[in-house]
Amino acid sequence: MSVSLIIVSHSARLAEGVAELVGQMNAGQVSVLPVGGTDDGTLGTSVTRIGQALEQALAQGGAALILMDLGSAYLSSTTALEFLTPEQRARVQLADAPLVEGAFLAAFEAAGGGTLDEVRAAAEEGRAMPKITG
């Protein structure tokens, strides 16, 4: 089962930028769906738009990992999950991970055929990813 990534941000440009970065680094092997901003294009999150991304990610029988930027992105994501069937919900997880590093590590794991649990665990390892070494 392939794992898609859903990038939920308060900013459409931020979500699109993370999706672009991750997509180029994994050569398009993993579906990365950006969901940023509200329905009217302002800063915020949209339960409706998150739900649409979930439908797209789950349509082919795959799984989805949601990565979020700030607290209310979590609230909107969990609300969107309430509209899924139990079978669909079983194929979605939320990652407690930094957005950029988590998305990068998750995409790498997903491209290698990782399970949803493995992809989430990889994303969450991003919390310990050093930016400066030496």
Per-residue pLDDT tens digits for 13-30: 999 999 999 998 877 799
Per-residue pLDDT of 31-71, as tens digits, reads 999 999 999 989 999 999 999 999 999 997 899 999 999 98
What is the reported pLDDT for 98?
Answer: 97
Q: Residue ranges per domain, the chain?
A: 3-128
Residue 6 forms beta bridges with which residues?
33, 66
Compute the CA torsion angle 112, 113, 118, 121 (nearest 10 deg). Answer: 40
Q: Is pLDDT at 1 greater than 80 in this prediction?
A: no
Residue 86 — very low, low, confident or very high, per pLDDT cuts 50/70/90?
Answer: very high
What is the reported pLDDT for 57?
Answer: 96
Can you read off the two tokens belonging to residue 74? 């979590």
| CATH architecture under which domain 3-128 falls | 3-Layer(aba) Sandwich (3.40)
Q: What span, in angstroms and rounded, lies between the C-alpha atoms of 122 and 126?
A: 7
Q: What span, in angstroms and rounded, lies between the C-alpha atoms of 129 and 58?
A: 29
Residue 30 sits at the vertex; the CA angle it makes with 11 and 65, to the nearest 5 degrees, is 60
Does residue 10 have an active-site annotation? yes
Q: In terms of C-beta density within 10 A (0-12 exposed, 13-18 middle, 19 or more buried), how is residue 44 classed? A: middle
Give pTM, 2 decimals.
Answer: 0.95
How many Cβ atoms are within 10 Å of 60's Cβ, its own excluded?
10
Q: Among the options 3, 8, 9, 10, which is catalytic?
A: 10
Q: Is pLDDT at 130 greater than 90 in this prediction?
A: no
Please give the average per-residue pLDDT across 82-91, as a whole number.
97
What is the reported pLDDT for 129?
Answer: 87
